[in-house]
Amino acid sequence: MDSAFWHSRWENKQIGFHSDSFNVHLEKFWKSLSVAKGATVFVPLCGKTLDMLWLLKEGYKVIGVELSEIAIQDFFSENNLDYKTYDEGAFRYYSSGDLTILHGNFFDISEQEIGQCTACYDRASLIALPREMRQRYVDKLKKFHKMASQQLLVTLEYDQSIKNGPPFSVSIDDVHALYTDTHTIKLSYETEIIDEMIGFQKAGVTSITERVFTIT
């Protein structure tokens, strides 16, 4: 998935992945990670997710990274948040209190930008990437050991031969292949969500399993 694909999605408002409410799995399962209040949580490929507000509300600091400036500016304006911007390294920083969103490419992040993060929330981020980009994505996350070791991961699995991604199908085996050498993976929850996914139904998909993993 190249940058042009995502820029076009935001320009054309094709953002069906965005939710106008907090993610129910975040609300339910985040506490199982026992992340200390005041810690800084990394939200890779953050879009304009309201989940960043949930994390702030719960007493965390948040750093997101997002390719699309439209997404970032929408996030601040739709939530009536003042922000300041400054450029440093490969990123433009959008900063508001305990929240910073980095405008730029996830693959350019370094210790300088997210070294203080000690936990990670991945919803619709790993699954936004095609199979051939996943290992690179996870290898990058794993460079930040503390952060990658307190992670909530939400995935979808469906028959990829019927419909192409994104979101891409990620199986339990895929998650194990990516993390099992270095991390403990716990499947916290799984549920069938095809009834909520009209676009997938129209494409002929008959089942989608949503899963929540804790990775420690």
Ligand X SMILES: C[S@@+](CC[C@H](N)C(=O)[O-])C[C@H]1O[C@@H](n2cnc3c(N)ncnc32)[C@H](O)[C@@H]1O
The binding site consists of: 10, 45, 66, 123
Residues 32-91 contacting ligand X, CB under 6 A = 45-47, 49, 65-68, 71
User: 123 or 183, CB closer to ligand X?
Assistant: 123
Residue 216 has which token pair?
Answer: 């420690």
Residue 148 interacts with ligand X (CB under 6 A)?
Answer: no
Residue 18 interacts with ligand X (CB under 6 A)?
Answer: yes
Q: How far apart are CA 52 and CA 25, in angstroms?
A: 14
Which residue in 63, 124, 141, 197 binds ligand X (CB under 6 A)? Answer: 124
Are 75 and 48 in contact, with CB atoms under 8 Å apart? Answer: yes
CB of 13 to ligand X, least distance (A): 12
Residue 25 has which token pair?
Answer: 């799995």
User: 33 or 154, CB closer to ligand X?
Assistant: 154
Contacts of 124 (CB under 8 A, 6+ apart): 17, 45, 47, 49, 154, 167
The size of the interface with ligand X (CB under 6 A), counted in residues, is 20
Q: How far apart are CA 211 and CA 187, in angstroms?
A: 7
Residue 151 interacts with ligand X (CB under 6 A)?
Answer: no
On the question of a cis peptide bond just before residue 44, with omega within 30 degrees of 0, the verdict is: no
CB of 31 to ligand X, least distance (A): 19
Contacts of 53 (CB under 8 A, 6+ apart): 22, 79
Residue 213 interacts with ligand X (CB under 6 A)?
Answer: no
CB of 200 to ligand X, least distance (A): 14
Give the binding site for ligand X (CB under 6 A).
6, 17-18, 45-47, 49, 65-68, 71, 105-107, 123-125, 128, 166
